[in-house]
Amino acid sequence: REDATNLDPDKYARNKVRLQLVPPLTELAEGPEALRRRLQALSDQSNKISDWLEELADIEMTKRHTKCNFSPAGLALDEWHKLPEPLRHHLISKLIGNMNAPPTYSHLLDIDQRILYAESRE
């Protein structure tokens, strides 16, 4: 049995993706199996990068403090700008990770820019 709302791309975002985004992606990838393989490869790559960032963040945190005592004060501001931007963002996420939801990318950028601005004022 087909629910009529499944055919309305404006009803739900998932419908828009399934009805308007997936078909051209499938065509560009030259078939559904090729699209599945490409998406799986992107997922695998993303997971590897995420694991690598986690390792780098753990190294940075261990250099400065034990993981449970790491604080922004443990990393001198003049060192912050030397860290790669993705690592800075990951460290920010870890530092505020006890929140109910992870910060959005725009929040990470904002926090990072505020730290960089504070650094430039020293």
Tell if the pTM clears 0.85, that is, is over it: no
Is residue 32 a contact partner of residue 38, using CB atoms and an 8 Å limit?
Answer: no
Residue 114: what residue type?
Answer: R
pLDDT of residue 66: 47
Is residue 12 a contact partner of residue 5, using CB atoms and an 8 Å limit?
Answer: yes
CA nearest 96: which of 112, 80, 119?
A: 112
Provide the H-helix boundaries in 65-84.
77-80
Question: Residue 108 pLDDT > 80, yes or no?
Answer: yes
pLDDT of residue 76: 65
Is residue 52 a contact partner of residue 86, using CB atoms and an 8 Å limit?
Answer: no
